[in-house]
Structure 1
Amino acid sequence: MPNKDFLLIYHLLPEKTSQQCFSEASTRRPADLLSSFTTIKTVMRGLYKDLGDVLLALLKNTDTRENVLEYLAEVINRNSSRAHIQVEPLSCASSGMFVNLSAVMLRLCDPFLDANLTKRDKIDPKYVFYSSRLDLRSLTALHASSEEVSEWINKGNPAKADGSKHFSDGENQLLQSQEATSSSGGASEPSLPAGRPASIGGGKSKYPFICECFFMTARVLNLGLLKAFSDFKHLVQDISRAEDTLATLKATQGQTPSSQLNLEITRIEKEIELSSQEKLCYEAQILRDGDLIQHALSFYRLMIVWLVDLVGGFKMPLPDTCPMEFACMPEHFVEDAMELLIFASRIPKALDGVLLDDFMNFIIMFMASPKYIRNPYLRSKMVEVLNCWMPRRSGSSSATATLFEGHQMSLEYLVRNLLKLYVDIEFTGSHTQFYDKFNIRHNIAELLEYLWQVPSHRNAWRQIAKEEEKGVYLNFLNFLINDSIYLLDESLNKILELKVIEAEMSNTAEWERRPAQERQERTRLFHSQENIIRIDMKLANEDVSMLAFTSEQIVAPFLLPEMIERVASMLNYFLLQLVGPQRKSLTLKDPEKYEFRPKQLLKQIVCIYVHLARGDTQNLFPAAISSDGRSYNEQLFSAAADVLWKIGEDGRIIQEFIELGAKAKAAASEAMDAEAALGDIPDEFLDPIQVCFTCLLSSLVRTVLRTMVIVSFVAVHFDEGSGHFTFVKNHS
């Protein structure tokens, strides 16, 4: 049995090391930090190799192989709580141990991570259900519920499924090749016995070593490397929040100095220093280890290709029924792959040389397939990966551009599935779904805006709008309009609230007379409102922009009977906010700071008006505009035109907009004339039941009102002799 502490040789840079290498990092020279990074990287690579050699030697020995596998399984099962957001350090192994173990397990996987993944047929999906070594059945599945998993497993035959295969000659050769690969050269190592090893533990049958190694590595990475990525992300967020708090406290201290604030500032500065040291430790051991990340990417490429094999390979559309083998696979297999891709995409050169086509195919196949992957947040994480790969709008070339612009499955299905996911994400089942959808749709909107600029994708988009005019595309437009209205309305209301606080703070004398605690609370609220406005306004700008560029070439869905009045009301409302009487109250000292660009917004709103008017062959749009009783005002069109002339908008657009305003005014006049000409509705066209109900209701209201008047003028008197009530006039 291996020493249970052999993986604990080097933790994730202990405190002494972090202080020695990264103390006062903010003031140290970049060259000093780089030297520390290089030293740590060299030491860790040597450690990984030595640990891998020890583990491989134990696996080669038939007397210790089973014990090693049992030990690894025990480590994994006993530390399963490391997958939780909050980890109890006294009950779990350290991050250092699991990062080390992740690196070692990836080295063991090297021989079956070849470019063609030729050995993936040795990975048996039944291991998840029937293996007694790892507890995989209790993990959240991709689609099946725990009851469905149990029911499906019970239908099988565990006795037959529990791996009828022993370690084969090929498995021994695999371990031998691993020894040769990991050896530093020189003396040759003793080879494994050529024949099959005898069964261990009373004839207990085994899965192939590749199968065991694959699933153990998947679990170790989930609890180790991927958990470290998650911890690093949370650490960065904590540092950012602490820095924001520190800035706020220093601003408050400048206005109202106090000893208590000084102590709090000192405490937070110390906290930031320690957290920054920890952040640099993560960077040294993980982010700057390109080999480790590339090994992990190779492993997860095998993972997603193997998963796709369970549904019939890389082809669309997917079968209507999801195979249970796929539906029952642990959800974290896919989630970890996506998290790694997101993380690696943000590290310079981490994706160099990595084959991304299989990842791209997988994402396109499953991001809009709730029948296969139930969790909408996991499917939205796939969009986040694509967002990381998206070529920047600057026009610079990108290695990932071919994934979007020259990839067959992308050209056929990417836009369609993005639009479908945009709709699906409206309902996630979470109590925070209303707010979550905005962040997810932000990523989708950025992708769609980029894809619109690619002619082949734009053509596909237009075809989808035509085919799904009253299906997915209609729902997409509905949600896009809903979000636009909510976000812009929320942003403008927050601006008004912000200006109130701003006015309070600008009145220095009055502000200084307020209690310190109240000033702090109002200051925090001010900064909170700033962040909300900035985020909401950015999202609103994206939505309005998408309405503007799509309406130029796709008009018909906007003019459907069920849509035209909603679209007109939305545009009228935006126009009222931007050029109506309230516009002066929305002026800000630095609008760009809040992503508030009223001139650009007005241009886009007017462009949408004009685009729809151009495609309105039946002249229905002007009537829809004028029928909006909430926001329509004919004077808004002339006011908007005046602003557009001043800011230099295209004269042709302005002229068409003015003409549309005139048509809307004429439509309003015609509607009023028609209503006056019709007069009252003839009795024979009235609904007798409704008329009767209305009369009864009116009579009841009159009776109640008359009773209230009478009661106000009379008083009630009780005659004790007769025992009767009498009503007398109330002179009071």
Structure 2
Amino acid sequence: MSYRRTSTGVNFRFTLDVHLCSSNPFAVASSGMFVSLSAVMLKLCEPFLDASLSKRDKLDPRYVLQGGRLDFSGLTAVFATSEELGKWVDSRNHSRAEGYRQIQQFGEQEEMRRLQAEEASTSMMNSSQSHPLRNIASAIDSMKFTFICECFFLTARVLNLGLIKALSDFKSLLQKLSRRKDDLAALKNMRGNGAPPSIEQDIIQAEAVVEQLSQDRLCYDSQLLKDLDLLQEALSYYRLMVVWLTGLVGGFHMPLPVPCPMEFASMPEHFVEDAMELLLFACRIPKALDGVNLDEFMSFIVMFMGSPHHIRNPYLRAKMVEVLNGWMPSKCTSPTLVSSMSSLFEGHHLALEYLVPNLLQLYVDIEFTGAHNQFYDKFNIRHNIAELLEYLWGVPSHHKSWMQVAVREEKGAYLKFLNLLINDSIFLLDESLKKIPELKEMEAQLADTTAWSRRPAQERQERERHYHQQEHIVRIDMMLANEDVKMIQYTSAEITAPFLLPEMAERIAAMLNYFLVQLVGPQRKALSVKDPEKYEFRPKELLAQIVNIYVNLDRGDSQGIFARAVSSDGRSYRDELFTEAAGLLRRIGSLPMQMIEAFELLGAKARTQAQEMMDAEAMLGDIPDEFLDPIQYTLMTDPVILPSSKTIVDRSVIQRHLLSDQTDPFNRSLLTVEMLIPDHELKRRIDDYLASHSKK
């Protein structure tokens, strides 16, 4: 940070040279200095951080665009791209900003001349009265900003470089300390048994690193964790920030205006991100949120977390969910906070109407973030969403909202949500169940201590490291899979219609059949490990949940759709598995007898449907190729034409594809459900073919 004094006052210019910071930390202000400056700036803001935020009308978004004391031009905007921003900024604003800079430069020149020749200062000042810049100064009077405005935006940048940066550094330090402790423990476990001679020196060095990082942690603890006043002052500041930002889109009203107002879209992204980072940190500190008004924060999060048309960065919207996750009453550290958070979730008017729909929307949106690691990121984000949704399902008002969304978006957003939920369940469970036999084999090798000790030390170290890595992966995958299966279980007890749609029934049936094979089929013994709980693997509970889902969907089906879908799964359906699973459940007693009997009844229905389908196939004989779906090679019942490739497919098959990928599978051009063209002539011929063969 540098200071430049001019005739118009002190001009603060904050610069952050990343390369300079990384190469020479002594060339820039320290983190401690910026945290202290953060405290000073918050004190300057204190007079206009009153409960009613009565001075927020003094804040002018033009300050960000005009480039006065601070240059915001290089910062990522919350929604607008640099090209959009460049087109939007009025050319008059550029000329006024240039005029403002000319006034500053002229003033500096005047001051220098006055110091050099005081006797001539009077004539110079008189001449300046007729100087052409006087007209420019008059023209840009409207660009002068109040102290409150300047102080507000200065504080935003100081906090970003100071307090918020320190919180980020603290988080990184804790992660690094945790990794180094794990490394130290691994080194100590290598002692003896043919360990290399350098092991003791490696342990000493690792202990020194852990000790230094622990001391650094204590320094952060004393500065950040103990100063509750600083945290609460910063929370008051960001309360004003979110209220002011929301005012740029018309206030706390839904739905949000589309397109996004450029005044909001052009604001720096870190204005929002810093507020969320502070809330995340504060909810983990006892008493940090005591007495803090969180209503506006809740409103802001509910409004924007489900809107990619206002906040472009999906990770920033995911961070809002992380904040809400930290606010759940079950995670609060004091009875007072439990009560206030329960009231916040269960009594906030915007949350009651929009929280569940926006969480479901974000669950879908996060599938594609544009980042190189988007595939794995989405599971962590959906974990936070799943925990929130489970809590909200048990709150009557939110439960009602969920039911309304399921009906309203049965063939839209809710169907996409279910499709992704099933996708995740299949992937996570499948990956976990494939790795468990490998872990079982490794457990057996470790148990044979004599044979294990004869292996070279480096080999043991590498194999143990791989084992612990796989152990961690399986534990995380199983935890996430358990959440997904549990969500399908409790929602399917009341919401069955979307699961029974043509594009979804076979999908959910195939998933359930596949995992029934894994849990009760011949290969289930391969999943028997010494301590399954440490992998979050609870096969008895998982089997009970899967059977529960089977029964839920069958009870909600009055047309035999689900039983037909179960029996048509050529990959995993086995009639004997239903008998085997029912017998196992009776022995372990994990489900009521009534549900086990309902499951057996579904098995009987599926058996009947399977026989009927076999009879129908025999009756139809060789079906003409033109009547077969080109993707699944099954008889089409509702043929449609894809407008781009002109390929004819079955409607249910292509709709299932479009839930995950809105492109034509034959040429990758854009395709939506609305673009499908019914082939009435082909459908008539298929119906005639079926009718003629049914008479034989």
CA contact (8 A) 2:356 2:401 kept: yes
CA contact (8 A) 1:162 1:207 kept: no
**Quick one: which amino acid aligns to residue 611 of structure 2?**
S
CA contact (8 A) 1:80 1:223 kept: no
Q: Write the distance in 1 (CA, Å) between the matches of 2:627 and 2:487.
A: 46
Aligned counterpart in structure 1 of residue 525 of structure 2, from 578, 584, 590: 584
Q: 1:659 to 1:371 in 2, by over 3 A?
A: same
Aligned match of 1:128: 64
Q: Is the aligned partner of 1:616 residue 2:554?
A: no
Aligned match of 1:280: 218
CA contact (8 A) 1:310 1:326 kept: yes
CA contact (8 A) 2:78 2:311 kept: yes
Q: 1:254 to 1:367 in 2, by over 3 A?
A: farther
Q: 1:379 to 1:261 in 2, by over 3 A?
A: same
Deviation at 1:669, TM superposition (A): 1.3
Deviation sequence 1:491-518 (CA, Å, 0-9, x none) = 1112122122222323333323322211
Q: Write the distance in 1 (CA, Å) between the matches of 2:490 and 2:623.
A: 45
Aligned match of 1:717: none
Q: Is the aligned partner of 1:574 residue 2:515?
A: yes
Aligned match of 1:321: 259
Aligned counterpart in structure 2 of residue 352 of structure 1, from 281, 290, 293: 290
Aligned counterpart in structure 1 of residue 241 of structure 2, from 270, 289, 303: 303
Aligned match of 2:403: 462
Aligned match of 1:102: 38
Deviation at 1:162, TM superposition (A): 8.5
CA contact (8 A) 1:142 1:328 kept: yes
Q: Give matches, 1:601-680, under 5 Å.
A: 601-648=542-589, 649-680=591-622
Deviation at 1:254, TM superposition (A): 4.8
Aligned counterpart in structure 2 of residue 218 of structure 1, from 156, 179, 188: 156
Aligned counterpart in structure 2 of residue 488 of structure 1, from 417, 429, 434: 429
**Quick one: which amino acid aligns to residue 412 of structure 1?**
E
**Quick one: which amino acid aligns to residue 651 of structure 1?**
M
**Quick one: which amino acid aligns to residue 127 of structure 1?**
Y
Deviation sequence 1:126-180 (CA, Å, 0-9, x none) = 011103321101100001111211222254423457899xxxxxxxxxxxxxxxx
Aligned match of 2:677: none
Q: Write the distance in 1 (CA, Å) between the matches of 2:8 and 2:531.
A: 68
CA contact (8 A) 1:303 1:333 kept: yes
Aligned match of 2:420: 479
Deviation at 1:449, TM superposition (A): 0.3
Aligned counterpart in structure 1 of residue 326 of structure 2, from 374, 382, 388: 388
Deviation sequence 1:454-479 (CA, Å, 0-9, x none) = 11111111111001001000000000
Q: Write the distance in 2 (CA, Å) between the matches of 1:296 and 1:683.
A: 69
Deviation sequence 1:40-60 (CA, Å, 0-9, x none) = xxxxxxxxxxxxxxxxxx9xx
CA contact (8 A) 2:42 2:155 kept: yes
Q: Is the aligned partner of 1:523 residue 2:464?
A: yes
Identity, % of aligned positions? 63
Aligned residues between the structures = 587
Q: Is the aligned partner of 1:443 residue 2:379?
A: no
Q: 1:217 to 1:471 in 2, by over 3 A?
A: same
Q: Write the distance in 2 (CA, Å) between the matches of 1:413 and 1:495.
A: 40
Q: 1:613 to 1:268 in 2, by over 3 A?
A: same
CA contact (8 A) 1:637 1:661 kept: yes
Partner-residue secondary structure (3-state), 1:399: helix
Normalising by structure 2, report the TM-score: 0.81
Aligned match of 1:705: none
Q: 1:652 to 1:334 in 2, by over 3 A?
A: same
Deviation sequence 1:20-64 (CA, Å, 0-9, x none) = xxxxxxxxxxxxxxxxxxxxxxxxxxxxxxxxxxxxxx9xxxx99
CA contact (8 A) 1:149 1:328 kept: yes
CA contact (8 A) 2:193 2:457 kept: no
Aligned counterpart in structure 1 of residue 183 of structure 2, from 230, 245, 253: 245
Normalising by structure 1, report the TM-score: 0.77
Q: 1:159 to 1:581 in 2, by over 3 A?
A: same
Deviation at 1:243, TM superposition (A): 1.1
Q: Write the distance in 2 (CA, Å) between the matches of 1:266 and 1:585.
A: 42
Aligned match of 1:597: 538
CA contact (8 A) 1:311 1:326 kept: yes
Q: 1:508 to 1:3 in 2, by over 3 A?
A: closer
Q: Is the aligned partner of 1:421 residue 2:372?
A: no
**Quick one: which amino acid aligns to residue 615 of structure 2?**
D
Q: Write the distance in 2 (CA, Å) between the matches of 1:339 and 1:162.
A: 36
Q: Write the distance in 2 (CA, Å) between the matches of 1:90 and 1:608.
A: 62
Q: Write the distance in 2 (CA, Å) between the matches of 1:374 and 1:490.
A: 32
Instruction: Report the aligned-residue RMSD.
Output: 2.5
Q: Is the aligned partner of 1:119 residue 2:61?
A: no
Aligned counterpart in structure 1 of residue 347 of structure 2, from 406, 410, 416: 406
**Quick one: which amino acid aligns to residue 510 of structure 1?**
A
CA contact (8 A) 1:81 1:92 kept: no
Partner-residue secondary structure (3-state), 1:563: helix
Aligned match of 1:144: 80
Q: 1:311 to 1:80 in 2, by over 3 A?
A: farther
Q: Is the aligned partner of 1:361 residue 2:299?
A: yes
Deviation at 1:65, TM superposition (A): 9.4
Deviation sequence 1:303-322 (CA, Å, 0-9, x none) = 11110111111000001111
Q: Write the distance in 1 (CA, Å) between the matches of 2:62 and 2:262.
A: 11
**Quick one: which amino acid aligns to residue 595 of structure 1?**
E
Aligned match of 1:38: none
Deviation sequence 1:694-720 (CA, Å, 0-9, x none) = xxxxxxxxxxxxxxxxxxxxxxxxxxx
Q: Write the distance in 1 (CA, Å) between the matches of 2:626 and 2:192.
A: 78
CA contact (8 A) 2:38 2:159 kept: yes
Unaligned runs of 5+ in 2: 101-132, 630-696
CA contact (8 A) 2:554 2:562 kept: yes
CA contact (8 A) 1:82 1:223 kept: no
Q: Write the distance in 2 (CA, Å) between the matches of 1:505 and 1:345.
A: 42
Q: 1:247 to 1:278 in 2, by over 3 A?
A: same
Deviation sequence 1:399-439 (CA, Å, 0-9, x none) = 21111101110010000000000000000000100000000
**Quick one: which amino acid aligns to residue 664 of structure 1?**
A
Q: 1:3 to 1:161 in 2, by over 3 A?
A: closer
Q: 1:3 to 1:252 in 2, by over 3 A?
A: closer
Deviation at 1:582, TM superposition (A): 1.4
Aligned match of 1:208: 146
Deviation at 1:377, TM superposition (A): 0.1
Q: Is the aligned partner of 1:544 residue 2:485?
A: yes
Q: 1:149 to 1:516 in 2, by over 3 A?
A: same
Partner-residue secondary structure (3-state), 2:329: coil
Aligned counterpart in structure 1 of residue 230 of structure 2, from 292, 297, 311: 292
CA contact (8 A) 1:387 1:443 kept: yes
Q: 1:83 to 1:282 in 2, by over 3 A?
A: farther
CA contact (8 A) 1:579 1:636 kept: yes
Q: 1:298 to 1:80 in 2, by over 3 A?
A: farther
Q: 1:558 to 1:254 in 2, by over 3 A?
A: farther
**Quick one: which amino acid aligns to residue 511 of structure 1?**
W
